[in-house]
């Protein structure tokens, strides 16, 4: 049975690349698009495997910040290692189980409880016997460590600007959750350039191999830092409240993230709601808009009720699920964590391609060579 063929327009739709970029990739990475097992590019049409190669190269260049020469060099090295004829077959495997699921928590609008959600979901996953780390990517205005009640001696700014390693700044928080603290009040950190973001993402590769879940607490809004760290994740959890501005901003960031990465897996969590029915109204409002205008269905990750215990725990600098484990909001957080754990409900299977193992191997090689 011959493999299905796709036109250049279909490849554009599936990858989010411009036609000119696809043509450039064909030229720049021709030797990696012509292995017999992939099928030949005939008459301007492509196989599903070609699309996967385009997506993975795009991932390295756009999200990881690697140059074309770096990607080409590492692809060649990998091909030499395993043998040219087995290049494709060796890559046809699921993502190695020892790599973490990376879940970015973001929002369009500030003040929606995003960081509270991040740390308490992380702790709820730890309570389910998972190894968890949390990366405070709200650069320059980081406060994960405050709400966790820990006092890091060093933070991300020391890694970016002073050459500290990941192990130098990583600390252990409640329930064994590893914490990578962001910098606080650092304008330079809030405005990291591409090379600095690239360095941070490489360091996160090492952390991904040590834990089951890596929670990335991004900043609010649509700055380059927020978008790049969100796009880095396997799945994205968008937090919104019933506030109409929050809903509008949540839709906006979802739209932008899908433009950056059409294969994103995005779920919505409604916070500070009165009850389940109130939550459904908020979810339906945003999901209806994404279905109609973006042709995308959001995953419903649940809700967290408005609860006085949340403010009390934050004021005491203690996590809600530990300080008030039986509070209504804690019960909601546990349900959200359970939804995340049930991978059939919320897992990005679109990114699990025939080339994921190859790309993970390249990432490991690059970290080893250039960290």
Whether 21 and 47 map to the same domain: the answer is yes
The number of residues making up the chain comes to: 371
Sign of CA dihedral 327, 136, 179, 150: negative
pLDDT at 225: 64
pLDDT at 123: 96
Whether 228 and 180 map to the same domain: the answer is yes
pLDDT per position as a tens digit, 105-116: 998 777 899 999
Residue for token pair 């020469």? 69
pLDDT at 354: 30
**Which of 25-29, 238-242, 351-355 is the most confident on average?**
238-242
Reduced 3-state DSSP string for the chain = CCCCCECHHHHHHHHCCCHHHHHHHHHHCHHHCCCHHHCCCECCEECHHHHHHHHHHHHHHHHCCCCHHHHHHHHHHHHHHHCHHHHHHHHCCCCCCCCCEEEEEEECCCCCCHHHHHHHHHHHHHHCCCCEEEEEECCEECCHHHHHCCCCCCCHHHHHHHCCCHHHHCEECHHHCEEECCCECCHHHHCCCHHHHHHHHHHHHHHHCCCCEEEEEEEECCCHHHHHHHHHCCEEEEEECCCHHHHHHHHHHHHHHHHHCCCCEEEEEEEEECCHHHHHHHHHHHHHHHHHHHCCCCEEEEEEECCHHHHHHHHCCCCHHHHCCCCHHHHHHHHHHHHHHCCCCCCCCCCCCCCHHHHHHHHHHHHHHHC
Whether 199 and 287 map to the same domain: the answer is yes
* End-to-end Cα separation, the chain, in angstroms: 45
pLDDT at 364: 43
Whether 212 and 298 map to the same domain: the answer is yes
What 7-10 contacts at long range (C-beta under 8 Å, 24+ apart), as own/partner pairs, is 7/44, 7/45, 7/46, 8/44, 8/45, 8/46
pLDDT per position as a tens digit, 271-330: 999 999 999 999 999 999 999 999 999 999 999 999 999 999 999 999 999 999 999 999
> Is position 2 within any domain?
no
Residue 188: pLDDT over 60: no
Number of domains within the chain: 2
pLDDT per position as a tens digit, 332-345: 999 999 999 987 66
5 compared with 146, residue with greater pLDDT: 146
Residue 365: pLDDT over 60: no
Whether 245 and 122 map to the same domain: the answer is yes
Whether 76 and 141 map to the same domain: the answer is no
Average pLDDT over residues 234-244: 93
Whether 316 and 357 map to the same domain: the answer is no
Q: Which of 78, 80, 69, 85 is nearest to 35 (CA)?
A: 85
Cβ atoms 198, 366 nearer than 8 A = no
Strands 171-172 vs 213-220: parallel, antiparallel or unpaired: unpaired
Q: What confidence tier does 191 reach under pLDDT thresholds 50, 70, 90?
A: low
> Is position 361 within any domain?
yes
In the chain, pLDDT over 70 holds for what percent of residues?
70
Distance CA 342, CA 337 (A): 9
Tokens of 88: 């494709």
In this structure, of 77-91, 103-117, 133-147, 166-180, the range with the lowest mean pLDDT score is 77-91
Distances in whole angstroms, Cα of residue 164 to Cα of each of 60, 91, 158, 209: 24, 33, 6, 19
Q: What confidence tier does 66 reach under pLDDT thresholds 50, 70, 90?
A: confident
Cβ atoms 358, 55 nearer than 8 A = no
Whether 27 and 125 map to the same domain: the answer is no
Whether 365 and 315 map to the same domain: the answer is no
Whether 12 and 155 map to the same domain: the answer is no
Whether 158 and 30 map to the same domain: the answer is no
CA 295-299-302 angle, to 5 degrees, is 145
Is the pTM of the predicted complex or chain greater than 0.85? Answer: no
Residue 139: pLDDT over 50: yes
Q: What confidence tier does 346 reach under pLDDT thresholds 50, 70, 90?
A: confident
Whether 50 and 184 map to the same domain: the answer is no
pLDDT at 126: 95
**Structural domain containing residue 115:** 101-341
Distance CA 78, CA 73 (A): 9
Residue 234: pLDDT over 90: no
Average pLDDT over residues 337-356: 67
Q: What confidence tier does 150 reach under pLDDT thresholds 50, 70, 90?
A: confident
pLDDT at 87: 45
């Amino acid at each position: 049975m011959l493999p299905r063929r796709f036109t250049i327009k279909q490849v554009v739709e599936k990858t989010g690349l411009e036609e000119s970029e696809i043509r450039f990739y064909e030229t720049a990475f021709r030797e990696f698009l012509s292995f017999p097992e992939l099928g030949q590019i005939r008459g301007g049409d492509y196989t599903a495997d070609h699309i996967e190669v385009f997506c993975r190269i795009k991932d390295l260049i756009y999200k990881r910040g690697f140059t074309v020469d770096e990607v080409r060099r590492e692809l060649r090295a990998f091909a030499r290692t395993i043998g040219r004829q087995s290049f494709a077959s060796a890559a046809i495997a699921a993502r190695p189980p020892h790599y973490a699921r990376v879940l970015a928590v973001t929002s369009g609008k500030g003040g929606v409880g995003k960081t509270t959600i991040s740390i308490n979901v992380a702790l709820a996953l730890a309570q389910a016997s998972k190894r968890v780390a949390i990366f405070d990517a709200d650069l320059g205005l980081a406060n994960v460590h405050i709400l966790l009640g820990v006092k890091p001696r060093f933070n991300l700014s020391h890694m970016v600007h002073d050459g500290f390693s990941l192990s130098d700044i990583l600390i252990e928080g409640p329930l064994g959750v590893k914490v990578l603290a962001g910098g606080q009040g650092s304008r330079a950190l809030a405005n990291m350039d591409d090379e600095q973001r690239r360095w941070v993402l490489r360091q996160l590769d090492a952390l991904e191999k040590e834990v089951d879940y890596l929670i990335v607490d991004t900043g609010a809004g649509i700055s380059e830092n927020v978008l790049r760290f969100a796009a880095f994740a396997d799945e994205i959890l968008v937090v919104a409240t019933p506030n109409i501005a929050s809903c509008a901003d949540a839709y906006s960031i979802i739209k932008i993230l899908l433009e950056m990465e059409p294969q994103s897996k995005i779920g919505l969590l409604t916070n500070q709601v009165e009850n389940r029915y109130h939550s459904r109204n908020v979810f339906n409002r945003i999901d209806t808009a994404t279905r109609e205008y973006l042709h995308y269905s959001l995953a419903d990750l649940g809700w967290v009720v408005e609860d006085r215990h949340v403010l009390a725990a934050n004021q005491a600098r203690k996590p809600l699920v530990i300080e008030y484990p039986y509070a209504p909001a804690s019960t909601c957080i546990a349900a959200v964590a359970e939804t995340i754990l049930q991978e059939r409900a919320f897992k990005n299977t679109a990114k699990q391609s025939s080339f994921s193992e190859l790309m993970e191997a390249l990432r490991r090689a690059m970290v080893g060579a250039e960290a």
